[in-house]
């Protein structure tokens, strides 16, 4: 429960909407109970009235109509206000989780599953809708209305008041509580199975071309259906428990109604209550159990909401992968980079880089080559502080990156990642990520530099052409060049490029590397590549072997 309670501050800004929904819910449930009570009283009184005796039909029938309209209106309003406040709260929780997640999920952490993250941000956040709509709201409304009916019974039929109190407390509190306790482990299992299914489905969708090519599509499909079957079985078990709870509430409603009726009949015989009022009270008592059924729906899913809240907190409460200094140092002007005796390993016991020393002056262009897996990307990551070295220091403009504010550092150093993504946006939207204020002329001249301008010109909407998910409407090489253009557009003084020419044909690759001297003139460039470098394209080239950096002749 503490995981759920920890989200209280995110519910607080929407408290007015929840309060309105609660008031309307009390009005709706109260009007429903009164409607049954007045109708029972009215019908009994009308049937007991002998022909010709005076009976005012108008008042009660108007009350019945009025109460029906009030009930409908209040229910509609409650749904509107409750869902509106809930959806706004879920939006707040989703944005909060996303903001907290980004710095806490290290790009280097191979244990992180994308499908699981997506599942947390979507399904787990959605599971929290239960909290107010199905659990707290109906519980408070039933409590308020139950207290009102208890007070009325206490005055009109005192013998029935304790019977009603016992029956309604058992139906409104004990049964839901029991269901919540029993459903707790089931809820956790459902959340885990649901996350597992989503992750497996995402894996399958991502890799469907390979699965088809290797003839494994059927296997993947049956794996997904086995997981879906497991989730289905858990949900069926949850529904069975909820149905048993519902039956218990129905039984308690019937038993309480019967108890109130028996107590009422004794009072009727002794003449302390009239027949019509008794009929009205019995029906009102039966009607008041309607709220308990709603509470049950909520509590049967509360275990799931609790587990969802735990999973979200688990993500949000992780220590950030990289901790910013409390008082960051100002980055002086300049685009120099340096590594001083840097040792780094994803597993500190097995360093990838050992005592690496490198100094790159402002405006210098340096290329780093080396066999696959030699640690080129790992080295480049250190310049952006995506990881911290276990030994030595990394300096940007003469300042240890651990003393810099991360946003200042990352606006000084632009980075082309090895698998940089094309976002689900237009060509322009993708480019403006690198420089939000860039004018169209700048976009076009950068597209010329990466030799994409003819392609974009041929697109139906030019810069405003939407690109499919992950740039699926582009070839791999075109997508790569678009990401490269984004980095070139950035005003950062230092460009760190990891395999910028991967996916490009030889001719374009050679032309691009040749052009770097001109296109990046004045800016510092550190580039990791497997490509053959055109003579004179870089000021210095290094080779990374056995964790050490060796300058090439
Ligand atoms: N996130 C990670 N967690 C653990 N080990 C990793 C991680 N990323 C890379 N490695 C390992 O660290 C070593 C260096 O990887 P890195 O990606 O820096 O090599 P690289 O020289 O850039 O290779 P390539 O040229 O193939 O891109 C490799 O042995 C790799 O398996």
Nearest-CA neighbor of 455 among 508, 524, 493?
A: 508
Write down the mean pLDDT value for the chain. 87
Q: What is the ipTM of this complex?
A: 0.96
Nearest-CA neighbor of 199 among 123, 117, 136, 115?
A: 115
pLDDT digits (tens, 9 = 90+) for 200-220: 888 888 888 888 888 888 999
Query: Predicted confidence band at 274 (pLDDT cuts at 50, 70, 90)?
Result: confident
Q: Is 375 in the pocket of ligand 1 (CB under 6 A)?
A: yes
Q: Picking from 151-160, 295-304, 312-321, 494-503, which range would have the lowest pLDDT averaged per residue?
A: 295-304
Helices 302-316 and 58-104 meet at what angle, rounded to 10?
Answer: 30
Q: Is 221 in the pocket of ligand 1 (CB under 6 A)?
A: no
Q: For the chain, what's the residue count? A: 553
> Ligand 1 centroid to 377 CA: how many Å?
7
Residues 529-534, mean pLDDT to the nearest whole number: 85
Distances (CA, A) of 491 to 91, 336, 360: 33, 15, 19
| Homologous superfamily of 337-551 | P-loop containing nucleotide triphosphate hydrolases (3.40.50.300)
Cα radius of gyration rounded to whole Å, the chain: 34
- Please report the pLDDT score of residue 404 as a whole number: 92
- Please report the pLDDT score of residue 255 as a whole number: 95
> Is residue 74 over pLDDT 70?
yes
Please provide residue 197's backbone torsions phi and psi, each rounded to the nearest 5 degrees: -65, -45
> Pocket of ligand 1, candidates 378, 503, 529, 530: which has the most ligand atoms within 8 Å of its Cβ, to mutate?
378
* CA 302 to chain CA centroid, nearest Å: 18
- Please report the pLDDT score of residue 206 as a whole number: 83
Distance CA 103, CA 322 (A): 7
The more confident residue out of 111 and 325 is: 325
> Ligand 1 centroid to 91 CA: how many Å?
37
Distance CA 118, CA 98 (A): 10
Buried b (16+ CB within 10 A) or exposed e, 274-297: bebbbbbbbbbbbbbbbbbbbbbb
- Please report the pLDDT score of residue 268 as a whole number: 87
Atom of ligand 1 nearest to the CA of 530: 25
Query: Predicted confidence band at 504 (pLDDT cuts at 50, 70, 90)?
Result: confident
SS3 494: strand
The more confident residue out of 368 and 536 is: 368
Nearest Cα residue to atom 10 of ligand 1: 346
> Ligand 1 centroid to 529 CA: how many Å?
14
Which of 6-10, 54-58, 210-214 reaches the highest mean pLDDT?
A: 210-214
pLDDT digits (tens, 9 = 90+) for 309-364: 888 888 888 888 788 888 888 888 888 999 999 999 988 899 999 999 999 999 99
> Ligand 1 centroid to 544 CA: how many Å?
13
Residues 34-47, mean pLDDT to the nearest whole number: 85
Residues 13-33, mean pLDDT to the nearest whole number: 90
Tell me if the pTM is above 0.90. no
Nearest Cα residue to atom 27 of ligand 1: 372
- Please report the pLDDT score of residue 314 as a whole number: 86
| Homologous superfamily of 2-49+57-316 | ABC transporter type 1, transmembrane domain (1.20.1560.10)
Atom of ligand 1 nearest to the CA of 107: 1
Helices 175-206 and 217-269 meet at what angle, rounded to 10?
Answer: 160
pLDDT digits (tens, 9 = 90+) for 381-412: 999 999 999 999 999 999 999 999 988 998 99
> Ligand 1 centroid to 108 CA: how many Å?
9
pLDDT digits (tens, 9 = 90+) for 182-193: 877 888 898 889
pLDDT digits (tens, 9 = 90+) for 130-161: 777 777 788 888 888 889 999 999 999 999 99
Query: Predicted confidence band at 53 (pLDDT cuts at 50, 70, 90)?
Result: low
Q: What sign does the dihedral 525-531-537-541 (CA atoms) show?
A: positive
> Is residue 1 over pLDDT 80?
no
Q: Is 110 in the pocket of ligand 1 (CB under 6 A)?
A: yes
Percentage of the chain lying above the pLDDT 70 cut: 96
Please state, as a whole number, how many other Cβ atoms lie within 10 Å of the Cβ of residue 512.
Answer: 21
> Is residue 223 over pLDDT 80?
yes
Residues 250-262, mean pLDDT to the nearest whole number: 93
Burial class of residue 34, CB neighbours in 10 A (0-12, 13-18, 19+): buried
- Please report the pLDDT score of residue 136 as a whole number: 79
- Please report the pLDDT score of residue 130 as a whole number: 74
Distance CA 329, CA 37 (A): 73
Give start-end residues of each CATH 3.40.50.300 domain in the chain: 337-551
HSE of 309, CA atoms in CB hemisphere, 13 A: 20
Give start-end residues of each CATH 1.20.1560.10 domain in the chain: 2-49+57-316
> Pocket of ligand 1, candidates 377, 381, 545: which has the most ligand atoms within 8 Å of its Cβ, to mutate?
377
Please provide residue 401's backbone torsions phi and psi, each rounded to the nearest 5 degrees: -60, -20
């Amino acid at each position: 429960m503490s995981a759920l309670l920890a989200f209280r501050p995110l519910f607080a800004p929407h408290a007015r909407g929840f309060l309105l929904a609660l008031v309307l819910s009390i009005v709706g449930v109260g009007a429903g109970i009164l409607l049954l009570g007045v109708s029972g009283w009215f019908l009994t009184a009308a049937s007991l009235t002998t022909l010709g005796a005076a009976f005012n039909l108008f008042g009660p029938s108007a009350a019945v109509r009025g109460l029906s309209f009030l009930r409908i209106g209040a229910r509609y309003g409650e749904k509107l206000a409750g869902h509106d406040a809930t959806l706004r709260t879920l939006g707040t929780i989703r944005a909060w989780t996303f903001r907290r997640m980004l710095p806490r999920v290290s790009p280097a952490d191979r244990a992180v599953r994308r499908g699981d993250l997506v599942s947390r941000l979507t399904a787990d956040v959605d599971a929290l809708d239960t909290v107010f709509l199905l659990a707290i709201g109906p519980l408070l409304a039933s409590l308020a209305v139950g207290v009102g009916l208890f007070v009325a019974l206490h005055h009109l039929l005192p013998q029935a008041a304790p019977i009603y109190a016992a029956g309604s407390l058992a139906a409104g509190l004990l049964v839901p509580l029991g269901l919540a306790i029993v459903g707790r482990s089931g809820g956790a299992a459902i959340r885990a199975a649901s996350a597992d299914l989503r992750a497996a489905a995402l894996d399958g969708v991502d890799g469907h071309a390979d699965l088809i090519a290797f003839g494994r599509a059927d296997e993947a499909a049956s794996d997904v259906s086995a997981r879906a079957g497991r989730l289905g079985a858990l949900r069926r078990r949850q529904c069975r428990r909820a149905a048993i709870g519902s039956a218990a509430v129905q039984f308690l409603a019937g038993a309480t109604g019967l108890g109130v009726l028996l107590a009422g009949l004794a009072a009727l015989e002794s003449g302390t209550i009239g027949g019509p009022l008794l009929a009205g009270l019995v029906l009102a008592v039966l009607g008041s159990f309607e709220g308990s059924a709603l509470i049950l729906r909520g509590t049967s899913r509360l275990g799931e909401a609790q587990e969802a809240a735990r999973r979200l907190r688990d993500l949000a409460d992780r220590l950030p992968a990289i901790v910013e200094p409390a008082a960051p140092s100002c980055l002086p002007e300049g685009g120099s980079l340096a590594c001083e005796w840097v040792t780094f390993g994803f597993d500190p016991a097995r360093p990838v880089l050992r005592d690496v020393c490198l100094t790159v002056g402002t405006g210098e262009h340096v290329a780093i080559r080396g066999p696959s897996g030699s640690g080129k990307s790992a080295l480049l990551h250190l310049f952006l502080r995506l990881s911290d070295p276990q030994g030595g220091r990394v300096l940007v403009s003469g300042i240890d990156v651990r003393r810099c504010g991360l946003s200042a550092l990352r606006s000084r150093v632009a980075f082309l990642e090895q698998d940089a993504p094309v976002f689900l946006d237009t060509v322009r939207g993708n480019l403006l990520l690198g420089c939000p204020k860039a004018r169209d002329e700048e976009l076009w001249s950068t597209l010329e530099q990466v030799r994409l301008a003819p392609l974009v010109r041929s697109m139906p909407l030019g810069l405003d052409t939407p690109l499919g998910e992950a740039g699926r409407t582009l070839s791999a090489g075109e997508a790569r060049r678009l990401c490269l253009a984004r980095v070139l557009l950035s005003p950062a003084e230092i460009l760190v490029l990891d395999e910028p020419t991967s996916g490009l044909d030889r001719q374009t690759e050679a032309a691009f590397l040749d052009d770097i001297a001109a296109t990046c003139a004045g800016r510092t460039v550190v580039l990791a590549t497997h490509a053959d470098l055109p003579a004179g394209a870089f000021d210095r080239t290094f080779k990374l072997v056995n964790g050490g950096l060796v300058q090439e002749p």
